[in-house]
Every structure is written in structure tokens, then in C-alpha cells.
Amino acid sequence: MTSRGYFGIGIEGVSKPMNAGNLFRTANAFGGSFVFTVGAEYSVRKAKSDTSVAPKNIPWYDFDTIDDMILPRMCKIVGVELLDEAEELPSFFHPVSAAYVLGRERGSLSPAMQERCDYFIKIPTKFCLNVATAGAIVMYDRIVTHGRFAERPTGELGKSVPLPDHVQGGPKSRKPKT
């Protein structure tokens, strides 16, 4: 199976330009089609972490407000947010055409942005992650689930290989020789 569709990723507001730069560099590395900011003062020069200079290699859309945010027709907006109703990432099927949006590091997606989202996903963690780290996890999950790679084996010895009874519980610990 080959990858199809496209994705973009962005951030609403930016309190740490280095994190936004890291997010955009990662989007460029994972084959993102575009990056965007909404209501954010972002400078490629200040975000020294984007060593790939993503906005020079893929489109960067800088929207002043949520009302200015124009995405391609049929593009689903996926909010990445720790909400009770958000679907956990491992159970989420990524839309073929999607724009993922994360909130600023010191806050959540605004109520207006939440109204624009078609879906909400959350990463099953104990607490919030760095915005660039969260975005990287979402993008990695997208490329894995959209079938660009062979199916992952179900065990370390390969898929569907029955293991001997003594191995079923995993490797047995060995006592050190004395």
C-alpha cells in the first residue's frame, strides 16, 4: 500500500519560537505538505531550531486570525488537545487530507479554534508534552498508519510465529554467575 493524501501541521499562537521551528523542521522531514501559524508572531530567523528552513521548502501559511484560516476543500482539521472527548491517538484513523493544529505551549486551543476542528486527538500520556514533541508523535503515527511501510510483526521473532511455552511470558531473567 502506498501513501496518499496530504497533511499540514500548525500551531495557534506561539510562546516559544524554538518549539515552533522544531515542529516545522519535523514536518518537513516527515513529508508535510504545508505548515501554518494562526495568531502567532513567528520568525524563521528567531526559530533557530529549524535547520531545514521548512518555510523555504514547503508552503508556510501565516493566518492572523482563525477567520483568516483557509485550507483546501475536503481538508479535515484535527485538533491535538488533552480533552475528555478527544480520541486517543493509537485508536484514531487519520483522514486522507488533514491539517493538524496544536495549541501554544502555555495554553490550549482557543474555543474558536476548537469550533473549527473536525476531530480531536490526544496522546495517551500522564501530562502535556512539548508542542514539537507532540507534533512529531502525531506525524509519525500518521505515516505508519497510512501504509507506507510493511505490516509490523506481532512479536520479536516475526509475525504469527507461535512461541514455545517456556518463551510465552517473555525472556526469563538469568541469575548472575557467582
The list of the chain residues with pLDDT below 70 reads 1-3, 42-54, 147-148, 158-178
pTM exceeding 0.85: no
Q: Decide if 141 is inside a domain.
A: yes
Q: For residue 39, what are the domain limits? A: 6-145
Residue 164 inside a domain? The answer is no
Q: What pLDDT sits at residue 41?
A: 76
In a domain, 159, yes or no: no
**66 within a domain of the structure (yes/no):** yes
Q: Tens digit of pLDDT for each residue in 71-97?
A: 999 999 999 998 999 999 999 999 999
Q: CB atoms < 10 A from the CB of 94, how many?
A: 22
Q: How many domains does the chain divide into? A: 1
Residue 48 lies in a domain: yes
Domain with residue 63: its CATH number is 3.40.1280.10
Burial class (CB in 10 A: 0-12, 13-18, 19+), 1: exposed
Q: Per-residue pLDDT tens for 113-138?
A: 999 999 999 999 988 888 999 999 99
